[in-house]
Amino acid sequence: MDSSLTLARLVEARLRADILHGVHRPGAKLRLEALRERYGVGASPLREALAALAAEGLVQRLDQRGFRVAGADQAALADLVETRCLAETAALRAAIARGDAAWEERVLVAHHRLARASRSLEADAFVPNPAWDALHRDFHLALLEPCGAPSLLAFCADLHDRSTRFRNLSNSLAYPQRDVAAEHAALCEVTLARRAEDAAALLEKHYRHTANVLGDALEQKTAVESDAG
């Protein structure tokens, strides 16, 4: 593989992670000189990485003016949640129909590890816990793993990553407002009981509840920024 292409993929992964975790804020201009210094790469692999992220929708290309981080607003959130509900409930139904005993064990282990982790590194204020984020991703993808459609599973993984950006943008205002651990436990239970329709309904409820919490937080965030401005 060409070394410049490999470098572009490496910086793409780092840049994607930074966008998802709020290092680069929504709407922020992505200036090449600053990015070159941060990631230690030249302009060519950096432009390739930005173009790839633009194709994903995380970055917007500006006509003759470079790139910026895609915005994060109510419309984008609503579209993301609706897409997740349609795609992931279908994948979950298929996974329940196809999953074997080894899959059940993987789901149990993923849930156990997630349940032992804390969403926040502090009790009184939200401080993102990267370990919880990773375990949360593992659990949700484990539920869908045997769906039989690798492309659908990859799409669901991408949707999960995009939702991480919204969570990390708003959790400082929305935490804590719900018992997420109980929601995950219930979802795990009905999935392993092979109650496909109940599991799909719980997953959709889980995502729509998240959307309501995040939507309220985005409104608060916008109001705070307007007052500060």
The reply to whether omega before 176 is within 30° of 0 (cis) is: yes
* Residue 103 predicted with pLDDT over 50: yes
Predicted pLDDT of residue 72: 77
Which has the higher per-residue pLDDT, 22 or 208? 208
**Cα–Cα distance for residue pair 74/161, rounded to 1 Å:** 17
Average pLDDT across the chain, whole number:
87
The closest alpha carbon to 88, from 144, 23, 34, belongs to 144
Residues 80, 50 contacting (CB under 8 angstroms): no
Which has the higher per-residue pLDDT, 65 or 54? 54
pLDDT in tens, 75-91: 888 899 999 999 999 99
**Cα–Cα distance for residue pair 141/138, rounded to 1 Å:** 5
pLDDT in tens, 7-34: 888 999 999 888 887 788 888 999 999 9
Predicted pLDDT of residue 66: 85
**Cα–Cα distance for residue pair 118/35, rounded to 1 Å:** 32
Which has the higher per-residue pLDDT, 32 or 73? 32
Q: State the CB neighbour count (10 A cutoff) for residue 27.
A: 12
**Cα–Cα distance for residue pair 192/100, rounded to 1 Å:** 10
Specify the pTM: 0.80
* Residue 64 predicted with pLDDT over 60: yes
139 Cβ contact list (under 8 Å, min separation 6)? 107, 110, 111, 113, 114, 184, 188
What percent of the chain is modeled with pLDDT above 90? 53
Predicted pLDDT of residue 218: 63
Predicted pLDDT of residue 6: 84
2 Cβ contact list (under 8 Å, min separation 6)? none
